[in-house]
């Protein structure tokens, strides 16, 4: 039986720090405390290590990629929102060198909104505070799926007070909740008047929301901030964004710090431009804009059509796990928290250091990008 390891989980933005694992004969033999998502993440990552060993990592593979880069005039770099800080910084340096468009595969509006709320004081300081809150409101998210142990904590401590909201029109729902407290004689459905009264009674609470509620864009985010502001007139309310990706906010913050913009930027010789709608990853791929697409980390939400385009065109994937689709080149890279250390951000903004549990020889994404960018100027 292998030795028990204590570690921090890289597989969702809760980044639980109390995991105990046993690896025996190159397989995950024991995992606690229970979390299906974490256990599956580790089992896949550990078996992925042996798949990586079989993949050619010779300089010939890198040389072929280097030649493609030399020939490319429209380079698209797509980041996954699971990447650690070093990989994102490496991708920024690489994109500057090759005058690329740099985008993120995930929806990132929620992260921007979460950062705005943090600035406004609407985000929790630490997860520990949640246990003491009176009311939980879940807006189009199921923490049990995205962040299993958070879902468990809510179930155990707070479920009796939880309100679930999943209306077809979130904007209308927030407006009704706001009006429900103000007795303006509007024709508000009883459901919302009752919920508004329940929320109003609580002196503290947290609103969890996911990407689905933000799809309608600016009007929803504005109304959301106004609602939180209303709630904070009489109590202490927080909001928390729950993304499926494990470092959504960390990726956006690193980009903001280095470029002044979130994803969807285009680097030119001495400037950087920002166009959130025009330079979206899937839109550019579907338009066949890039003559070379470099994916750093696996995209979670791309459509089948987008993958079909990627397979047809020249695509390079840097990822720890073998893909289920067929990019032109797959270069296996180390994964923070499995075979290399790395820094990510927890969902409430706290920086978390991930340590390797099975160090091996796979290069980091940052090392490969630096190697590819090392020969000759190309700005």
Interaction site with ligand SF4 (CB under 6 A): 9, 11-12, 14-16, 35, 37-38, 147-149
Q: How many residues can be counted in the chain?
A: 379
- Give the nearer residue to ligand SF4 in terms of CB position, either 96 or 147: 147
Distance CA 156, CA 355 (A): 30
Write the Ramachandran bin of 262: left for phi over 0, alpha for psi from -120 to 50, otherwise beta: beta
- Give the nearer residue to ligand SF4 in terms of CB position, either 30 or 291: 30
- Give the nearer residue to ligand SF4 in terms of CB position, either 14 or 294: 14
Q: Where are the beta strands (DSSP E) in the chain?
A: 4-7, 19-24, 27-32, 75-79, 101-104, 135-139, 163-165, 204-209, 236-241, 265-268, 271-274, 292-296, 315-319, 329-332, 342-345, 351-354
Distance CA 206, CA 238 (A): 5
- Give the nearer residue to ligand SF4 in terms of CB position, either 10 or 263: 10
* CA proximity to 283, closest of 83, 104, 69, 97: 104
- Give the nearer residue to ligand SF4 in terms of CB position, either 17 or 303: 17
Q: Which residues contact 172 (CB under 8 A, 6 or more apart)?
A: none
- Minimum distance, C-beta of residue 28 to ligand SF4, in the bound complex (Å): 13
- Minimum distance, C-beta of residue 141 to ligand SF4, in the bound complex (Å): 14
- Minimum distance, C-beta of residue 57 to ligand SF4, in the bound complex (Å): 28
- Minimum distance, C-beta of residue 247 to ligand SF4, in the bound complex (Å): 12
- Give the nearer residue to ligand SF4 in terms of CB position, either 9 or 207: 9
Hey, which residues does 208 pair with through a beta bridge?
A: 138, 240
- Minimum distance, C-beta of residue 149 to ligand SF4, in the bound complex (Å): 4
- Minimum distance, C-beta of residue 36 to ligand SF4, in the bound complex (Å): 8
* CA proximity to 272, closest of 291, 258, 288, 293: 258
Hey, which residues does 137 pair with through a beta bridge?
A: 163, 207
- Minimum distance, C-beta of residue 252 to ligand SF4, in the bound complex (Å): 19
- Give the nearer residue to ligand SF4 in terms of CB position, either 103 or 146: 146
Distance CA 336, CA 83 (A): 8
């Amino acid at each position: 039986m292998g030795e028990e390891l204590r570690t921090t989980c890289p597989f969702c933005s809760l980044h639980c720090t109390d995991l105990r694992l046993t690896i025996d004969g190159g397989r995950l033999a024991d995992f606690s405390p229970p979390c299906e998502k974490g256990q599956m993440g580790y089992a896949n990552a550990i078996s992925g290590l042996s798949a990586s060993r079989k993949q050619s990592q010779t300089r010939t593979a890198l040389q072929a990629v280097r030649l493609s880069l030399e020939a490319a005039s429209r380079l698209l770099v797509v980041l996954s929102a699971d990447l650690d800080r070093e990989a994102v910084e490496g991708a920024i340096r690489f994109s500057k060198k090759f005058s690329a468009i740099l985008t993120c595969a995930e929806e990132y509006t929620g992260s921007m909104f979460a950062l705005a709320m943090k600035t406004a004081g609407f985000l929790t300081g630490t997860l520990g505070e949640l246990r003491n809150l009176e009311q939980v409101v879940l807006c189009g998210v199921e923490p049990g799926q995205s962040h299993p142990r958070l879902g468990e904590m809510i179930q155990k401590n707070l479920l009796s007070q939880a309100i679930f909201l999943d209306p077809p029109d979130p904007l209308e729902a927030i407006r009704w909740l706001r009006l429900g407290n103000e007795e303006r004689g509007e024709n508000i459905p009883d459901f919302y008047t009752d919920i508004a009264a329940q929320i109003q009674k609580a002196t503290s609470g947290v609103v969890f929301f996911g990407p689905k509620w933000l799809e309608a864009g600016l009007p929803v985010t504005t109304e959301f901030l106004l609602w939180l502001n209303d709630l904070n007139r009489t109590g202490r309310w927080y909001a928390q964004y729950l993304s499926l990706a494990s470092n959504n906010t960390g990726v956006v913050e690193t980009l903001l710090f280095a470029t002044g913009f979130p994803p969807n930027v285009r680097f030119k010789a001495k400037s950087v431009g920002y166009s959130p709608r025009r330079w979206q990853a899937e839109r550019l791929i579907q338009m066949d804009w890039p003559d070379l697409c470099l994916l750093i980390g696996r995209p979670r939400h791309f459509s089948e059509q987008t993958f079909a385009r990627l397979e047809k065109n020249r695509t390079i994937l840097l990822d720890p796990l073998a893909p289920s689709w067929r990019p032109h080149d797959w270069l296996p890279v180390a994964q923070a928290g499995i075979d290399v250390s790395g820094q990510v951000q927890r969902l409430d903004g706290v920086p978390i250091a991930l340590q390797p549990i099975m160090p091996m020889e796979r290069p980091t994404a940052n090392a490969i990008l630096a190697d590819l960018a090392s020969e000759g100027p190309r700005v």
